[in-house]
Structure 1
């Protein structure tokens, strides 16, 4: 039970502290790949910590189920730790804990169902969007993209079967060939990196837990960092200047597409600055946060498993 308490406190500490720490080290996108890993590790470790906490509490309460005679409580290591932490108040307190764990289990199940429903709905919407885009536009073999015959500027990718890159006639008219190639490479980088899966998951968590800043801010930060990763992938092929000029051109249109709007200022600043590797202390800080977020819950789970085995002997 003491491990469950530690994991619960750890989850709340990460949910409160991680957003500020991670945003501070990832604002300028010095190491976007590591920063994305850090955000995902913090979110995953928090969810894991809370789930394992609930599992430990339920196992403890079920194993030491309520007896009609409090004196006949099973004598075990976990029960002694439990009594030492909360005091031996008899069957009423244990009944209350059992009921509380039942409500907590129900709440987790409801959240899990909502998350699953959100993810399935997002997948259906994406597949339908890709299908409608292919029907409404025409495939351009030279671009390997679907062109929409509209003046409204649009340039984006849609995951589906098959994946689809969509550009509008307005974008084709606004961009030079090398700038257009940079935009298309940017969108292909999203699809090759399976960024849509990360966005769907993080946005799903933000939807079902809208009051937890770790998930709401994390979803927007991961989206911003993934745009930077796609910028870097396109820059390796076409050069930073081509990507920057394409981004600036799209941003000056009357209604810029989402590709140009997403975290525009940090992206322009990164592409305009000299290409320098991330500072060592930035890499160390983000890597340390990532490893800590992963190690603590895993170590606690292993400790709990060893403790259960020892107590069972």
Structure 2
């Protein structure tokens, strides 16, 4: 089997089989930061593998093969043998087209995501300038709105936005916990992680792996922000604030207990409340090491698969062809 075929099979296996990683991502909630890194590395491994597959398929039938052999100091015969693909020029052109499509698709989707986020940020900045107000009581911008809500805008300068409804519904301790949660989003650069997920999903939207990736990444980063806020605020305070914001009900109207949280339904907010009130066991050192190994494998496997044959060929003795071995004609 050729290197290109191996990379195509690898991308297909991850793109299809990786969907179960998102559907069964509950265990990643025990370490949200590692979970996000694992999901994004696996997701981005697919377009990288497809791009490299196209290049390796085209190598033996293009001028690129001569350049690679000279760069590595290996015989052109060995390079072509390592990357040989049946089909000739037609397959080589198809490989180049595949690589070009991946590059164009990623670039186009990335430009769309950047433009959309810039537009959203300008809209929010305009709203803050027109309707927002600052108060010495809180390091945030207050917007008059009955519905309790809070969000953050990445900088510079970064801004935490609270609605007047949230200030009316929450206690001071709960408001402080909400602000700590939103600051954690900015400090951990969660907006970049969400943008990365949006780009890879938009690049290959039809794959099962991409179906739930954005929602799972969003849930995990919210849980990571909860964990950061819980370092300085009581988990019960964060949970009650979260329940109030999610349901729009004032504190005390519904008792916040593990039983009521479980009965409220299977939403992201409920999962976060349940996790705050009933913290799951953290990963052991062995499990953390296994997850980190999975992240490294997702990053390195496509690259090593693509270039290992060329590296091996570079360290082999030159192949002497029959033409090279023939004696020179007498002068």
TM-score computed with the length of structure 1 as normaliser:
0.82
Structure 2 unmatched runs, 5+: 66-74, 250-265, 319-331
Whether the 8 Å CA contact 1:39–1:218 is kept in 2: the answer is yes
Q: Which residue of 1 aligns with 2:109?
A: 115
Q: Bigger shift: 207-216 or 34-43?
A: 207-216
CA contact (8 A) 1:235 1:243 kept: yes
Paired position in structure 1 for 2:138: 143
Q: Which has the larger radius of gyration?
A: 2
> Closer, same or farther in 2 for the Cα pair 1:33/1:109, shift >3 Å?
closer
Match of 1:187 in 2: 182
Q: Which deviates the most, 261-270 or 2-11?
A: 261-270
Q: How many residues align?
A: 292
Cα distance in 2 for partners of 1:281, 1:38 equals 16
Which residue number in structure 1 is paired with residue 3 of structure 2? 3
Task: Give the root-mean-square deviation of aligned CA atoms.
Answer: 2.8
SS at 2:232 equivalent: helix
How many Å apart are 1:144 and its aligned residue?
A: 1.5
Mapped contact 1:183–1:243 kept (Cα < 8 A)? yes
Give CA deviations for 1:34-61 in whole Å, capped at 9, x if unaligned: 1111112212222222222222223332
Aligned pairs for 1:98-247 within 5 A: 98-135=92-129, 136-247=131-242
Once the two structures are TM-superposed, the CA of residue 26 in structure 1 deviates from its matched residue by 3.7
1:245 and 1:107 map into 2 onto residues whose CA distance is: 48
Q: Kindly tell me: are residues 297 and 107 of structure 1, through their superposed partners in 2, closer, same or farther at Cα, counting changes over 3 Å?
A: closer
Contact 1:130 1:160 in 2 (8 A): no
Distance 1:298 1:100 in 2: 20
- What residue number does 1:269 align with? 274
Secondary structure of 2:89's counterpart equals: helix
Instruction: Look up the match of 1:90.
Output: none
Can you list the C-alpha shifts for 1:122-159, whole angstroms capped at 9, x where unaligned? Answer: 33124313421321211234321111112132211112
Q: Structure 1 or 2: larger helix share?
A: 1
Tell me the equivalent position of 1:48.
48
SS of 2:231's partner is: helix
Q: Distance in 2 between matches of 1:119 and 1:44?
A: 16
